[in-house]
Amino acid sequence: MVDFRHMYGAVYILENAEARRVNVGMTITDVSLRLRDVNFMWLSMKVVCQVCGMRRLAGKDGLIPQHVISGKKCPGGNELPSTTLSNCG
């Protein structure tokens, strides 16, 4: 018999009436950190890199900060974020 690892977490349902978006999910980390992360996405402060597709907090100038993917510097750093991918969580 396989003994499964039980991870206790919290299920959340978030509604942004102004943006007409809903986010449903589960987190096993601190709920306040997850709420902060979703808030950054809804406020478009967290954007998507055009090259690697990773989400990053936008810099003060609105550009993607320099970042590393799989040990290599991503060429999408210091560039504009992607506009084709959705910012919702």
In this predicted model, what pLDDT tens digit does every residue of 47-86 receive, in sequence order? 889 899 888 888 888 888 899 988 999 999 888 887 644 4
In this prediction, residue 87 carries a pLDDT of: 41
E strands along 1-89, which residues?
A: 10-16, 21-27, 46-48, 55-57, 68-69, 72-73
Q: Which two tokens stand for residue 20?
A: 């007409």
Same domain, 8 and 24: yes
Q: Which two tokens stand for residue 89?
A: 């969580």
In this prediction, residue 4 carries a pLDDT of: 62
Number of domains in the chain: 2
Same domain, 37 and 54: no
- Full domain range(s) for residue 29: 1-43
Q: What pLDDT digit, counting tens, does each position of 22-32 carry? A: 888 888 888 88
| C-alpha–C-alpha distance, residues 89 and 77, integer Å | 22
Report field, pTM of the whole predicted structure over 0.75: no
82's enclosing H/E stretch is none
- Residue 85 DSSP label: S
Same domain, 30 and 56: no
